[in-house]
């Protein structure tokens, strides 16, 4: 019997459950889709261990963040349930008057929630299954893999995880309903307050002063962010963040007065139709809900910024991997000269320097693993990078009248050493990838700079013909522009290295200077086979332990790691942005529906006084639209400024365009916010129409 009553209630109250249903549907769809990524990975042609590891890391991050997502969705479900309970408390009171006890009322509520929840779960998982298929192809594209044999994959693990999380949410909601119904007196349930909630009467002058103060605080926070440039997440950054939050709350607190003040300035505008009623309703809502409006605005700001910036950050780390990982294998190493070096290091240094004449190719081919290296190496090149003792870029720029240029690059940093390399080794490395050799005239040097952030100094030195004193040689800057990576990496990291004549290197080699070497290899086989040969034995590199620093980085590994990082950044940005947008839109929708429900008496009075139904509904549309969109301009302004500051100080110097992330954030905002706005207006319209009939 109670199940039949619940079914009838759901049919009659479908509009009351609209926001609840949409929130559950969005939540279940996205929750299932992202947690099914691990199951979808079986479709991918994973060609190496690095790619598999990055997929595992990504799914682990997604799974961990899903705990936070579940908590957020639980809050939304409980919050939406409060609106339903509030809307129907007179109905519950009627049940009690007819002889039902509170446990039976709760039982009916449970059946209703179970029915709505079951429908939303089934539809959500179905939509999530479809979305997960698209994510499988997106995953393949992001990590540079393929799907040779596609088949539909349904993740039972993700399904059970989704069912478990949302079952826990229903239990929490049921407990809260039991507490609510059992603690309410019959008179409270049967009494409905239809009056508009009014805030305390605050003089206009006070609110005007607060409004001006809010603008000043927000402006100061903007200025502070411009000074900070997101470079230091220190106490000052925390201070300006706090000031921005306070300014936002004060802005919405004082906004209602400013709305009425500006509207009343034009009698022709204010005294037309139901505009006095509409503006008073909007002003009242802003007054009583300013805290939630401010919080929604800040959450929207965070959601839009996270999504927009996330894609830009991803491009910084992986956008140029094709240019920064051209070699099949890069070995980076340096020789330990301290007397306390391990015996193995001493032996390695002796063999490398004396027996092999500091040549890594000879060192490897004559090692215990020489057979493997002879099989692996097709072409190779070594490049030794010397750090000139006591010579820094601050001093070089100062001697050449470019101190201001240096300060724009490294303000306060006086320890950026000058690094040099020989032209012969540099050109031999260039031939591995088919690049044009560099010509360094006698008495000159060429700046090799591949980092956009330092290009200002490089360009200034080229244009001025700047001079540098190295190993007794006075060298002037060549106008030739060169920017090449000398080792594998994920980002462009070759910054202001000087390519000098070989006779300068001959002098440095005899001096006690810091040297770090790079040995690049092109395989005699494809990259996957070469990496597999190296991985047969972790120590098969043949130089582990012989040097104070040693690192091996394969090109295929860099591509796999870049793909995994791209996958992680992209999915986290989408996941975080989507959930935050759903959270803010749902909270705002429920807040507006609650306000409309509380104001039904006002709409009835306006209708009784002679206002046509069309005018009342037009007034309602304006109220919902203004109240729903009020936090949006503030959030967009905050986000636009934050992205602008990041673009000027981070993205632009690194050659990254954040427009892709901005378009994605705008599309998500349009879809999610638009859906909730439409649902809010349709439900509000139905409530008001029933009230004035």
Task: Encode pLDDT of 664-681 as tens digits.
Answer: 888 888 888 888 888 888
- What is the pLDDT of the chain when averaged over all its residues? 79
Report the alpha-carbon angle 196-200-202, nearest 5.
125
Res 13: pLDDT: 67
Strands 473-477 and 514-523: unpaired
Task: Encode pLDDT of 517-530 as tens digits.
Answer: 899 999 988 888 88
Residue holding tokens 């950050």? 313
CB count in 10 Å sphere of residue 22: 22
Res 146: pLDDT: 66
Angstrom distance (rounded) from CA 116 to CA 17:
8
Residue holding tokens 């505009």? 275
**Which residues, 6 or more positions from 673, have their beta carbon under 8 angstroms from its beta carbon?**
581, 585, 632
Res 194: pLDDT: 44
Task: Encode pLDDT of 457-493 as tens digits.
Answer: 888 888 888 888 888 888 898 888 888 888 888 777 7
Identify the band that residue 41 occupies on the pLDDT scale cut at 50, 70 and 90.
low
Task: Encode pLDDT of 384-436 as tens digits.
Answer: 898 887 788 888 888 888 888 777 766 555 577 888 999 999 999 989 888 88
List the helix and strand counts (H, then E) for the chain: 28, 9
For the beta sheet containing 329-334, the strands, ordered from the edge strand earlier in sequence to the opposite edge, are 467-470, 473-477, 444-448, 497-500, 417-422, 377-392, 514-523, 329-334, 549-554
If you average pLDDT over each of 270-284, 530-544, 604-618, which comes out highest?
A: 604-618
Task: Encode pLDDT of 258-289 as tens digits.
Answer: 777 677 777 777 777 777 887 778 777 777 77
- Cα–Cα nearest to 359, from 229, 517, 232, 246: 517
Task: Encode pLDDT of 53-65 as tens digits.
Answer: 667 777 777 777 7
Sign, Cα dihedral of 146, 150, 151, 152: positive
Angstrom distance (rounded) from CA 303 to CA 404:
38
């Amino acid at each position: 019997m109670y199940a039949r009553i619940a079914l009838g209630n759901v049919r009659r109250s479908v509009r009351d459950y609209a926001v609840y249903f949409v929130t559950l549907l969005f939540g279940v769809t996205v929750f299932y889709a992202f947690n099914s990524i691990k199951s979808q990975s079986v479709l991918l042609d994973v060609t190496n261990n690095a790619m598999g590891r990055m997929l595992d890391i990504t799914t682990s991050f997604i799974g961990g963040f899903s705990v936070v997502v579940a908590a957020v969705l639980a809050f939304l479900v409980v919050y939406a349930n409060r609106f339903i309970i509030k809307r129907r408390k007179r109905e519950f009171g009627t049940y009690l008057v007819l002889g039902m006890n509170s446990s039976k009322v709760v039982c009916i509520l449970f059946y209703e929630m179970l029915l709505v929840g079951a429908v939303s779960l089934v539809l959500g998982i179905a939509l999530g299954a479809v979305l997960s298929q698209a994510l499988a192809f997106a995953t393949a594209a992001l990590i540079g893999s393929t799907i040779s044999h596609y088949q539909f994959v349904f993740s039972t693990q993700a399904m059970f995880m989704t069912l478990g999380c949302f079952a826990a949410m229903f239990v929490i909601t049921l407990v809260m309903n039991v507490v609510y119904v059992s603690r309410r007196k019959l008179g409270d349930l049967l009494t409905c307050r239809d009056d508009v909630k009014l805030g305390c009467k605050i003089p206009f002058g006070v609110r005007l002063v607060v409004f001006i103060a809010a603008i000043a605080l927000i402006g100061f926070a903007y200025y502070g962010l411009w000074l900070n440039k997101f470079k230091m997440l220190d106490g000052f950054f925390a201070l300006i963040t706090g000031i921005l939050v306070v300014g936002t709350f004060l802005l919405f607190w004082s906004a209602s007065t400013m709305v009425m003040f500006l509207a009343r300035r034009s009698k022709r505008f204010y005294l037309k139709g139901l505009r006095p009623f509409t503006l008073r309703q909007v002003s009242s809502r802003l007054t009583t809900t300013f805290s939630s409006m401010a919080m929604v605005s800040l959450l929207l700001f965070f959601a839009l910024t996270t999504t927009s910036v996330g894609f830009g950050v991803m491009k910084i780390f992986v956008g140029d991997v094709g240019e920064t990982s051209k070699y099949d294998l890069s070995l980076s190493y340096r020789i330990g000269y301290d007397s306390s070096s391990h015996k193995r290091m001493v032996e390695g240094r002796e063999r490398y320097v004396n027996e092999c004449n500091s040549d890594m190719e000879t060192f490897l081919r004559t090692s215990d693993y020489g057979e493997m290296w002879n099989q692996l190496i097709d072409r190779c090149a070594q490049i030794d990078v010397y750090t000139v003792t006591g010579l820094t870029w601050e001093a070089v720029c100062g001697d050449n009248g470019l101190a201001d240029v240096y300060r724009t690059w490294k303000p306060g940093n006086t320890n950026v050493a000058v690094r040099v390399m020989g032209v012969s080794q540099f050109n031999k490395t260039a031939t591995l990838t088919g690049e044009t050799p560099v010509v360094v005239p006698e008495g000159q040097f060429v700046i090799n700079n591949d980092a956009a952030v330092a290009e200002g100094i490089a360009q200034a030195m080229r244009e001025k013909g700047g001079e540098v004193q190295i190993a007794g040689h006075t060298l002037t800057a060549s106008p030739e522009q060169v920017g090449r990576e000398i080792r594998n990496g994920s980002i462009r990291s070759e910054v202001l290295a000087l390519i000098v004549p070989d006779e300068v290197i001959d002098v440095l080699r005899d001096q006690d200077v810091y040297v770090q070497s790079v040995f690049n290899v092109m395989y005699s086989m494809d990259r996957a086979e070469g990496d597999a040969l190296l991985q047969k034995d972790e120590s098969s590199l043949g130089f582990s332990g012989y040097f104070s620093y040693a690192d091996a980085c394969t090109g295929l590994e860099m591509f796999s790691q870049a793909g995994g990082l791209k996958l992680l950044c992209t999915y986290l940005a989408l996941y975080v942005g989507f959930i935050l947008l759903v959270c803010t839109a749902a909270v705002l929708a429920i807040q507006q529906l609650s306000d409309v429900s509380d104001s039904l008496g006002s709409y009835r009075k306006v209708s009784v006084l002679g206002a046509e139904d069309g005018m009342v509904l037009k007034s309602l549309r304006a109220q919902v639209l203004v109240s729903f969109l009020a936090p949006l301009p503030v959030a967009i302004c905050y986000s636009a400024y934050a992205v602008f500051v990041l673009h000027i100080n981070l993205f632009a110097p690194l050659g990254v365009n954040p427009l892709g992330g901005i378009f994605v954030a705008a599309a998500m905002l349009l879809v999610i916010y638009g859906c909730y706005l439409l649902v809010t207006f349709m439900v509000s319209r139905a409530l008001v129409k029933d009230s004035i009939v």
